[in-house]
Structure 1
Amino acid sequence: MSQSLIVAIILIVMIVSFFAGYIPMAATALAVPMFLQITGVLSFKDAWAGFSSSTVISLVVLFILGGILNQTTFLEDLKQFVVTKLGAGAKGKRRVLLAAMLMSVVFSTFASPVSAMAIMLPIVVAIAKDTGLPVKNTIKACTDVACSSNNVLPVGPALTAYITFNGYLEAAGATERFRFADPFLAKVPIFLVFFLYIYFIGFKHYAKNGDVKVPEAGESAAKKADRKKAELTPFQNKLGKILFFGSAAAMIITSTFTSIDLYIVGGIAILIALAAGVINQKEAIRTIRWETIFIYGGTVSLSTAMNDSGLNEIIATGISSILGGVTNVYIVAGVFFLTSFIVTQFTSNRTVGAVFRPLSIAAAVGLGMDPRFTLLAIHYGSSLSNLTPMATSAQLLAFNEGGFKMKEFVLGSIGPALIYFIAFMVWFPINFSVL
């Protein structure tokens, strides 16, 4: 049996198990690297590398930072402000939802979706509960817009996006090139349609029982009952707020202008908080969402296996063969978008982009089409990580924090994804004059 077939079987079994719900997701996720190692697809080091990755360390740091904020009076103060100011009046809930979604986009644009949602989730849950917004729906709405906000503003890595894309085009012998503003002009109208759909329509359909009780900071009810929140002195209370928001600002600055990892910045803030008594060791450990760590660490190995076994290339080659006789630019771009969108729900969008971008350009050049259209079809299809909790760490945070069922999570995400796809298919031909 080939390694690619083994990986495909493990992938299918994992998906079925996640949807069936008979086995805890964390247990299923942990079984993935076990079987990848047993079958010889991955070595021990590669199979379990997810648990020692910088992403896992960053998640732990961000969870504890959220716990530091929970120790202060900030969330209570925020609740009072939201309820009395933004939440007042007939349209109060809508204003609160809009503010939460916009804050998520801004944080994500300057940092990353997972950093944004790790910072935002305690705030989102608190204001949703106190204003009567369905908690699940609010969490998912904020996460979806955060995950899809890349290239909306010309900051950070987005500044050099056109250079990277032009490198792909030049390597393939294409004559077309992107200008500096092209990625933003291409993305903003699509994102606005996506954002407005979620705000006005999609928000209502994420979950039917969206007002369920959501545990704060990843704690069980038993754990919360077993301990009392420590009383902080005015100095400790102020220091906790400064450490949380100061580290968030520092993460944005360092990720934009330096190569310093965010967990270094967050780790320093945590050490200061522990030394000052803002949070104690037991409380810090309790804030870590272990299920999220297990699911991420287990499933990320599948992305490595799909790449190393050649399964990604098999999928890409199959799509290329199917499109061999197709000359309609809409069909070609649509197929590339949907394929990259589906694959990225189970593996890294970077991996999907690395495999499919050169292929999409080669296919377009060979068929006499504008390769910018197909290249960005792959780019935006692979970055639409909203359908499953395996798509990105930010969605995994939302899944666990909201207490979603897999079926509920997927069904609620189909509408926004479909709107995004339709907006792409309408706007891109106009933007790049390929009509």
Structure 2
Amino acid sequence: MTTDQIICLLCFAFLTVGYIWRKLPMGVTALTTMALLIVTGCLEPKEALGLFSNSNVIVMVFMFIVATGLSRTQVTNKLSSLVYKISGGSFTVCFLGYMIVVLLLAQTGMSGIAVFTITYPFIVSMCEKFGYSPSRAIFPFAMVVVTAGSVLPFGRSAITYVQDNGYLEAYGFDLSQYAFGMLDRMKVKLIPVILIAAYSLTVGFRLAPKQPVLSTNGVKAKEKKEKPPLPKFKEACGYIIFFGVLIALMTAQKTGFQPWVIAFVGAVLILVTGVLNKDEAIACLPFKPMTMYIGAFAMGNALVSTGTGDLIGTLMVKALGGTTNQYIICAFFFIVPFLMTQFMSNSSALNILRPLVLMACASMGCSPLGPYLCIAMATSLGFLTPMANVTIPVAMSAGGYDQKAILKMGLPLALGISAFFIFWIPFLFPLWP
């Protein structure tokens, strides 16, 4: 183990303990960790500076302005009243309706953070309509957002299998013998996503804190209600801009526009048309989740660039030994990425482990389909720490959660769904057919 790798692990321990201990604000802990990585040479200054202009950060910032602009209109009141009426006054039915909307949006190619910032103001309004604190629903809702991608075979999800087959071919597998079909991910993931939604509606809601543990930073429906309604022109602009941004994000792959450009233009239009004034726009900027995400992303980059992630992945794959039990193999290939993705981005964990898993399958002479899906599904369950997914620090800030609160809500779900996947995937895709 190199000096850089030891330092990287110590910084990682500092970040983890800091999030749990909370003697410093979590954003301060994240940026302190980033500073330590830069000073010790584990992270290049140029790379660190680039994180502040990361496209996810830009989307996060400007989508907050667009979402707050919509919240300034009467749409959340009107839509919440309509959903309330349709649901027959049932909180569960109302909450389920918003989850179905998220499931559909997540298949279009929109990022999780875009889906969350668009939809969570409606969750806030819904909670207030039923007399609950938003802290009861925001994180359970966020768990559905994080895990809802690549379930139904339309939008970007319809071509995911082509990319998967490309990786198989690149590592020497014969596609006439081993290849994914368009519906394979749906077969694996649809039941777990339904279970995640059911858990979030019931157990997750009950385990959520009745009031925020920490101060919140997000769209607050009550504050908006106290302000006078917008003039008709500005009200209409709020609707048109928001839904225009939504459609543009859904069609971004076809039009070629970058999501951050769409969010940026939408935010500018919100200001130009007067839906929000400059003070309202500044007040809604998500500084806390932004700093948490930047620090967490810095930690993930350092794990990758120093080879620490590769080292961990290689050691764990070697630990598999010579077993031929497909459930033990799939459990191993699931648990390793599941743990890794809680502390670095899911794409980083997936990119580190994908070649190792495919090479291990080639060496064992087994089908790569099951193990490949294990790492893909495991890295989609990144919701136990703010380092796991950009949506999580935003949800923590909006709902006023600390690390202990999200572990209380998320850990039982993560363990249960992981156990389901470990038995479900090799049942559908045996390693030795």
Aligned to 1:104: 102
Residue deviations 1:95-135, cap 9 Å, x none?
11111221222222221211010111111111112113452
Residue deviations 1:247-281, cap 9 Å, x none?
11221122x42331122223223333322222111
One-letter amino acid of the structure 2 residue matched with residue 74 of structure 1: V
Tell me by how many angstroms 1:389 deviates.
Answer: 1.8
Matched, 1:229 2:227: yes
Matched, 1:187 2:189: yes
2-structure distance, mates of 1:423, 1:402: 29
2-structure distance, mates of 1:331, 1:366: 17
Q: How does 1:51-62 map to 2 (within 5 A)?
A: 51-62=52-63
Matched, 1:25 2:26: yes
Output the TM-score relative to the length of structure 2. Answer: 0.92
Distance 1:311 1:268, change over 3 A: same
Aligned to 2:244: 246
1-structure distance, mates of 2:23, 2:215: 21
Aligned to 1:145: 144
2-structure distance, mates of 1:11, 1:188: 34
Aligned to 2:91: 93
For the Cα contact (< 8 Å) 2:107–2:156, is it kept in 1?
no
Q: How does 1:254-265 map to 2 (within 5 A)?
A: 254=252, 256-265=253-262
2-structure distance, mates of 1:164, 1:376: 13
Distance 1:126 1:228, change over 3 A: closer
2-structure distance, mates of 1:433, 1:273: 52
Aligned to 1:337, which of 334, 338, 360? 334
For the Cα contact (< 8 Å) 1:135–1:212, is it kept in 2?
no
Aligned to 2:307, which of 310, 322, 332? 310
Deviates more, 1:112-121 or 1:322-331: 322-331
For the Cα contact (< 8 Å) 1:218–1:401, is it kept in 2?
yes
Distance 1:351 1:216, change over 3 A: closer
For the Cα contact (< 8 Å) 1:360–1:375, is it kept in 2?
yes
Q: How does 1:132-171 map to 2 (within 5 A)?
A: 132-171=131-170
Structure 2: 5+ residue stretches without partners:
none
Residue deviations 1:176-225, cap 9 Å, x none?
221232222222223223333333433322x2425789857368x9xx69
Distance 1:433 1:327, change over 3 A: closer
1-structure distance, mates of 2:325, 2:131: 48
Distance 1:32 1:215, change over 3 A: closer
For the Cα contact (< 8 Å) 2:212–2:400, is it kept in 1?
no
Tell me by how many angstroms 1:87 deviates.
Answer: 4.9
1-structure distance, mates of 2:85, 2:156: 38
Tell me by how many angstroms 1:399 deviates.
Answer: 0.8
Matched, 1:50 2:51: yes
Aligned to 2:81: 80
Tell me by how many angstroms 1:291 deviates.
Answer: 0.5
Residue deviations 1:356-375, cap 9 Å, x none?
01111222232232211111
Tell me by how many angstroms 1:52 deviates.
Answer: 1.4
2-structure distance, mates of 1:82, 1:178: 39
For the Cα contact (< 8 Å) 1:48–1:298, is it kept in 2?
no
Aligned to 1:173: 172
Aligned to 1:126: 125
2-structure distance, mates of 1:216, 1:238: 26
One-letter amino acid of the structure 2 residue matched with residue 180 of structure 1: M
2-structure distance, mates of 1:425, 1:20: 33
One-letter amino acid of the structure 2 residue matched with residue 184 of structure 1: M
Residue deviations 1:349-400, cap 9 Å, x none?
1111111011112222322322111111111111111111221111111111
Tell me by how many angstroms 1:238 deviates.
Answer: 1.6
1-structure distance, mates of 2:172, 2:122: 49
Distance 1:53 1:101, change over 3 A: same
Q: How does 1:355-434 map to 2 (within 5 A)?
A: 355-434=352-431
SS at the partner of 2:320?
A: helix
Distance 1:120 1:72, change over 3 A: same
One-letter amino acid of the structure 2 residue matched with residue 66 of structure 1: A
One-letter amino acid of the structure 1 residue matched with residue 149 of structure 2: N
One-letter amino acid of the structure 2 residue matched with residue 99 of structure 1: G
One-letter amino acid of the structure 1 residue matched with residue 184 of structure 2: D
Q: Aligned pairs, how many? A: 427
For the Cα contact (< 8 Å) 1:135–1:214, is it kept in 2?
no
1-structure distance, mates of 2:215, 2:26: 18
Matched, 1:266 2:263: yes
Structure 1: 5+ residue stretches without partners:
none
Matched, 1:12 2:18: no
Matched, 1:300 2:302: no
For the Cα contact (< 8 Å) 1:202–1:415, is it kept in 2?
no
2-structure distance, mates of 1:311, 1:184: 33
Aligned to 1:352: 349
SS at the partner of 1:391?
A: coil
Distance 1:211 1:397, change over 3 A: closer
Tell me by how many angstroms 1:229 deviates.
Answer: 3.5
Aligned to 2:199, which of 197, 203, 210? 197
Output the TM-score relative to the length of structure 1. Answer: 0.92
Tell me by how many angstroms 1:304 deviates.
Answer: 1.1
